[in-house]
Chains A and B, each alone.
Chain A
Amino acid sequence: MAEVTTGRGGLFRKKPVGALVHETGADREGGELARSIGLFQLTMFGVGATVGTGIFIVLSEAVPEAGPGVVVSFILAGITAALTAVCYAELASTIPVSGSSYSYTYATMGEIVAFGVAACLLLEYGVSSAAVSVGWGQYLNEFFSDVFGFGLPDAINAAPGEGGFINLPAVVLVTLCGLLLMRGARESATANTIMVLIKLTVLAVFVVIGFSAFQGSNLEPFAPFGVAGIGIAASSIFFSFIGLDAVSTAGEEVHNPQRTLPLAIIFATVIVTTVYVLVAIAGVGAQQYGQFEGQEAGLAAILREITGSNVWPAILAAGAVISIFSVTLVTLYGQTRILFAMGRDGMIPSVFHRVDPRTLVPVRNTIIVCIFVGLLAGFVPLGVLIDLTSMGTLIAFTVVSIGVMILRRTQPDLPRGFRVPLYPVVPLISALFCLYLITGLPGTTFLLFAVWLGVAAIIYFTYSVRHSLLARGIADASEEPPR
């Protein structure tokens, strides 16, 4: 019987891959037709999920840390993101189920690690959607002041730590996205492509105008804070590369994954990194690195400095407002579905995987997520949110990279739709890069992260350890593949 083998192992009990596949009904006959995603669309998914708030706000955080050398930081963060995405792709293609790295870890490294990863994913999705919506609020405000000549007062436009009382625009955005999700939102591949084009266009506008004001003297000194500064900036910048995993998880849906997945990851990374680097060069070339500190809606502010007009900043802000909206929607959506997967496994209460009979959507789950994210967005300063997001994501990716190596050893014969090239160099370097970037995060982030892990541990040991379906021997495994 399944429960004899799965029930054992205590905290490190693993969920059989067969059970994971069975739960999605992927092995059911009939059902829907298999979708087939092509290279172009997959690349667009990667770009669409990645280019969000990050690039629009990160310069004001990162440039003061690294100086003009921030360009190198961007490349460093980009390489790390690409490496982790490749590792992610192998796990995703081996364990073709949804639920993100949480599910993969559950199958490879056991329950308690999976729970820890889920706690990190709550940062990667939940906290990051809060961060993204705060950035959205900045650009909305920028747009208002450019077009109507006035912005929202600080009291309702900034978190308590930043001289306000509540960040209302961010809360409104989270609420709107939540309503859409409760109704059963969908976003088509075409809509995504349009969003990508809008983003790239406004960034291109920035780059062109930025280069027109390029002054070589602004690049001196190139690295005022040395290599350490560049590394620290790369940690903050990593936030703007989160989302490349939208490519990795496409595994089953992709035509010829062994070729398409790595190509899409490479193309998406190259496009995103190129755009970011160009934006960074245009930015640091246009003004002295000291001026970046504290610039709200940074890119628009630089454009106004250069052109002295409100038109270009308004165009940029409008593009940002439109395109970041879809990123918030997608990130919130991801968070609800990860919690759904956890609820299904009995790790958290079943309210998270109840489907509403009318909308066929996990409505209560969505409400809880939106309240949580809305509070974060309304009351926590952006810098804290960004660093926490990077922390969670980098840890989750480290675990994924190690997971690839573990699964290669424990289950070498499992069919893999995609295999990491240059094994074991790539997953090793990937894990090391992640760890290196983690060291660049500020001390308070480590503290907050430790507190958060503590909370997660309390939840795990008081609830999940007894309620988990595996613990109760109710794993819905029709077969038992692990050997």
Chain B
Amino acid sequence: MRYLVGLTAVGGRDALALGRMLARTGDVDLTVCLVLPETWGHPSPARVDAEYAAFLRRHTEDAVAEARQFLGDEVRAEYVSASASSATEGLIAAAEQAGAALIVLGSSRHGPWGRFALGGITNEMLHASPVPVALVPRGHRPSPEARLRRVTCAFSGSTRSRTAFDAAVQLSRRHGVPLRLATFVVRDRQMYPSGVGYDAERMVAEQWRRQAEDAQQRALATLPEDAEMEAVVGDGRDWEDAVDSLAWEEGEVLVVGSSRLGPVARVFLGSNSTKVVRSSPVPVLVVPRGADVHLDDVEPAARGSEQER
């Protein structure tokens, strides 16, 4: 099994740190991919393009050396660089070439510390990536020895969250960690004035909580009984607060589904997965609808050797 860590100019260490943690916990090899701007293929008379190419080469060597040092010797990693007219294309091509099952990306540098902010590349990746994409909050820096401890799945019972659920189950199996289902009750709506009482939304929220708890139990019932699993409900005034109301562990990954809404629907409906991504204190694995999810084709022997380590 191979995961791809995408590095652009900045934010690389956050992504590398998650890659390192995942690699240490499962039988996972990493491909670290440095995305470079494409150079013009034909030599120019003034050789400026050659100078630029040389600069890029030096930059690549430095970055690879840095990444290698950061990951340490224990992590099996290969280093590639991708030049493409767009970073998104480059990353996807590299992931396909390496046969990576998921792609790890860092936050835009404009985000708040400790949270993930979507940037141009990550936004495009969410819409184009053929495999799940893990988004790492700024400053996410578990210790070199840190291991994955738990996989949480943002679950609503809809068909879309079914995809996320499957991915989360696979991820937790692959890395041998407990699974947690989390549903969010968000109480951010209120109508002023209201002729039906100002707690009408509380009634809707409670109904939603019950519906969600039923859906959680039904989903968990499909798993083998010996699997380590639990279900929780995060409840808050807004998404940030609801996500915050749950306890998060250091080595935790949150899995959410994303529906690849069209541009109109995105404006009109907004996207809950985007809100979860923005609020999450832990890395978020976004599973786009229709993405290839094959995270658990793991041989028993490999899992055994993992436990010996």
Contact = CB atoms under 8 A, between A and B. Distances in A.
A208 to B, nearest CB: 27
Given A35-B198, A99-B200, A362-B204, 8 more contacts: A49-B195, A125-B195, A183-B268, A189-B192, A334-B194, A337-B203, A357-B156, A361-B204
Nearest to B208: A355
Nearest to B157: A357
A49 B208 contact: no
B196 interface: yes
B183 to A, nearest CB: 9
Interface residues on A, range: 35 or more
Given A249-B198, A357-B156, A358-B272, A46 B193 contact: yes
Interface string A88-99: 000010001111
A260 interface: no
Interface of A: 23-26, 30-33, 35, 37, 41, 44-46, 48-49, 92, 96-100, 125, 183-189, 191-192, 243, 245-247, 249-253, 329-331, 333-334, 337-338, 340-341, 344, 353-355, 357-362
Given A24-B203, A361-B204, A98 B197 contact: yes
A359 B269 contact: yes
Contacts of B209: 25
11 contacts: A25-B206, A26-B199, A32-B236, A41-B192, A125-B195, A192-B193, A247-B193, A249-B195, A357-B158, A358-B269, A361-B204
B235 interface: yes
- The dominant DSSP class at the B interface is mixed
A249 to B, nearest CB: 4
A338 B195 CA distance: 10
Given A25-B209, A357-B158, A98 B203 contact: yes
A473 to B, nearest CB: 18
Q: Which of B157, B186, B199, B209 has the most CB of A within 10 A?
A: B199
A76 B150 CA distance: 67
B187 interface: yes
A100 B196 contact: yes
A355 B215 CA distance: 12
Contacts of A243: 193, 195
Contacts of B212: 357
6 smallest beta-carbon distances between A and B, as pairs: A45-B193, A98-B197, A246-B193, A357-B156, A98-B200, A357-B158
A98 B199 contact: yes
A162 B154 CA distance: 53
B207 interface: yes
Most chain B CB within a 10 A radius of its CB, from A125, A331, A333: A333
A187 B192 contact: yes
B299 interface: no
Contacts of B206: 23-25
Contacts of B218: none
Contact of A96 (B199, B204, B245): B199
Contacts of A24: 199, 202-203, 206
Contacts of B197: 92, 96-100, 249-251
Contact of A98 (B158, B202, B215, B245): B202
A333 B200 CA distance: 10
A333 B191 contact: yes
Of A252, A253, A355, which is in contact with the most chain B CB atoms at under 10 Å from its CB? A355
Contacts, number: 148
B188 interface: yes
B205 interface: yes
A340 B187 contact: no
Nearest to A362: B204
B85 interface: no
A337 B196 contact: yes
Contacts of A329: 191
Given A340-B203, A344-B207, A330 B161 contact: no
Contacts of A32: 187, 236-237
A358 B158 contact: yes
A366 to B, nearest CB: 11
A361 B211 CA distance: 12
A37 B190 CA distance: 13
Contact of B195 (A100, A183, A359): A100
Contact of B198 (A192, A250, A331, A360): A250
Nearest to B198: A253
A31 B202 CA distance: 10
A127 B187 CA distance: 29
A252 B191 contact: no
Contact of A358 (B156, B187, B200, B215): B156
B269 A340 contact: no
A331 B195 contact: yes
B189 interface: yes
B191 A353 contact: no
B192 A45 contact: yes
Contacts of B194: 45, 49, 246, 249, 330, 333-334, 337
B203 A31 contact: no
Which of B157, B189, B192 counts the most A-chain CB atoms under 10 A from its CB?
B192
Interface in B151-194: 156-158, 160-161, 185-194
Interface string B230-258: 00000111000000010000000000000
A248 to B, nearest CB: 9
Contacts of A41: 192
A185 B202 contact: no
A251 B200 CA distance: 13
Nearest to B235: A31
Contacts of A188: 190, 192
A191 B160 CA distance: 34
Contacts of A247: 193
Q: With a 10 A CB-CB cut-off, give which of B156, B187, B197, B272 has the most chain A CB atoms.
A: B197
Greatest chain B CB density within 10 A among A46, A97, A192 is at A97
Interface centre among A245, A357, A362 (most CB of B within 10 A): A357
Contacts of B189: 184-186, 360-361
A252 B269 CA distance: 32
B203 A341 contact: yes
B164 to A, nearest CB: 12
A48 B191 contact: no
A338 to B, nearest CB: 6
Contacts of A338: 196
